[in-house]
A and B are shown apart, each in its own frame.
Chain A
Amino acid sequence: MEELKKLICISCPQGCTLEVTVEGKTVLKVDGESCKQGIEYAEQEITDPRRMIASTVQVKNGYHPLVPVYTKMPIPKNTIKNVLKELRKVELTAPVALGTVVIKNVLGTGIDVITSRDMPTRTAEQDHFLK
């Protein structure tokens, strides 16, 4: 049975409202997009919705206690919770470089979680403040 679904494209900040005609998980028609990303998004969102995820992991002896990380590519929406669980188990040791793989092929998604900045070691000055 044909069904009309309203989606909001998240590919860019414009946020076009898409009207997608679907039958089961097959996209028949997309209306309302202003570029081809809209069509790709609708297709992806109906068949296999995915999101980019950003979080943090602990880092020992770092300038900050956490280093930010993100999934290199969007991961399936239904894996988000478990990916976050995996990240809670990780602890790195400073110094850490930007782009360091934190978890390779996380939960078999084929996607790596990597750091999004350098994290230098804590400074003597910081240690002084903690004393």
Chain B
Amino acid sequence: MVLKNIYDVVVIGSGPGGLAAAVAAKKEGAEDVLVIERDMELGGILIQCIHNGFGVEIFKEDLPGPSYAQRFIKEVFSLGVEILLDTMVLDITPQRKIYASNKRLGFVEIEARSIVLAMGCRERSRPQIRIPGTRPVGVYTAGTAQRWVNVEGYMPGNRVVILGSGDIGMIMARRLTFEGAKVERVLEVMPYLTGLTRNYVQCLLDFDIQLQLRHTVKRVLGNNCVEAVEAVQVDEKWNPVPGSEEIIPCDTLLLSVGLIPENELSRKAGVKLDPITSGPYVDDNFQTNVPGIFAAGNVVHVYDLVDWVTEAGFQAGKCAAKYAIVTHRKESNYVPLIAGDNVRYIVPQKLDKRNLEENEIRLQMRVTQPIEQPVWIEVHDKENLVARKAERYVRPGEMVTVVLKQKNYKDVEKAENLTINIAPR
């Protein structure tokens, strides 16, 4: 493959966000689109997510991860998107120069008229949650175990404790059970489930796997290999409850304790990050603070559904193509979005008023506390109610979406900022 010196759109990462961005950029009219992927094949983490549940929103079909990825892989090839596999991006400059290394091509330097960051996220690991005890073999993130079991073909162990009730953890509990392991326990430090309720049903309840809320691992035991973990209950202030300790014999401890957007490259490019999401501040076009650098998918904030990552990728890719083709963007007219009562964060963090004149804008957010009763999600400009939506409940594990319609333009146009509050109805 002969690399061009300059591309209209370069997409970093080929997971669902990156693939969608490449497809949309090409469809929007960008001529030269390049996807750079560090793995040997396209698809990102979908390749190891062999369970179904993907595509219900976009394709109205219930697909396994690899099938979902393959649809987009086929499309990027048929659209003539260029692909650079097995390539590590080392640096991105604010002027959109990309430096990468590849075994065959060596060190490469590529210029991009616009860039879509789609690096996804990384799992929180043992050092980040500081689990005391020995440091034996047998403590892995749930995603590592998923890669081994589903792609590479070996088992992490036979008796497993899972810390964290995130979706990957619950899905791995079922998967390991299928392959003959015994999942001794799932421990969750929060008083509520952090993954989707349906995964609790079909991954844990179906196989009688015990979930303990408000419980965590006090320490890991074992010298060479994990021999047991000591579980403990925690109180409201997250302090261990004395006397509640329990030794659970096991040979494997899997961690499903959250995902962090992977933004080392974004930082190098001068992209500002939101300390709450750990992802870039973006506007409603998914453009970061650096002109011409866009970001989409789990690199911005962690989604519940791949379908929404794809949607975000489409939007970012389309806008990146527009930027590359036109470049001359008028001064934007931004309104900041402020997280109010029981809202932890909102993406986008700001929106361009004029875009609302032409298109509806989707706001996605997470709540701070669960409210297990009907609620209003209200968008306010000071005292003035701009839009509101009813939900039957809200939970931190399940993302909340509000769509601002073109008819809201009049109210938004006048606003200096918009606050979103969530409260019982």
Which one, A9, A15, A70, contacts B52 given CB within 8 A?
Answer: A70
Q: Which of B28-36, B59-67, B271-279 lies at the interface?
A: B59-67
Would B66 and A117 count as touching, CB distance under 8 A? yes
Report whether A54 and B50 are in contact in the complex, using a CB–CB cutoff of 8 Å.
Answer: yes
Known contacts: A52-B62, A98-B70, A118-B70. The answer to whether A34 contacts B51 by CB under 8 A is no
Contact bitstring A1-34, B, C-beta under 8 A = 1, else 0: 0000000111011111000000000000000001
Provided the pairs A52-B62, A56-B150, A66-B150 are in contact, do residues A12 and B56 lie with their beta carbons within 8 angstroms? yes
Q: Which of A15, A51, A66 has the most CB of B within 10 A?
A: A15
Q: Cβ of B198: which chain A residues have Cβ within 8 Å of it? A: 8-10, 12-13, 15
A residues less than 8 Å from B50 (CB atoms) = 54-56, 68, 70, 116
Q: In the complex, A53→B47 CA distance in Å? A: 17
Partner of B66, one of A8, A34, A68, A84: A68
A84 touches B178 (CB 8 A): yes
Complex: how many Å from CA A52 to CA B149? 19
Report the minimal beta-carbon distance from A127 to chain B, rounded to whole angstroms: 14
- Please report the number of residue pairs spanning A and B whose Cβ atoms sit closer than 8 angstroms: 76
Name the contact of A10 in the complex, choosing from B41, B65, B151, B201 (C-beta under 8 A): B201
Is B351 located at the chain interface by the 8 A CB criterion? no
Question: Considering only CB atoms, which chain B residue lies closest to A55 in the complex?
Answer: B178
Contacts of B197 in A (CB 8 A): 8, 15
A95 adjacent to chain B (CB < 8 Å) = no
Q: Which residues of B contact A98 (CB under 8 A)?
A: 66-67, 70
12 contacts between A and B (CB under 8 A): A8-B197, A10-B202, A13-B53, A52-B62, A53-B178, A54-B51, A56-B50, A64-B153, A66-B150, A70-B50, A116-B64, A116-B67
Q: Which 6 A-B pairs have the closest CB atoms?
A: A15-B197, A117-B66, A68-B50, A116-B64, A10-B198, A65-B153
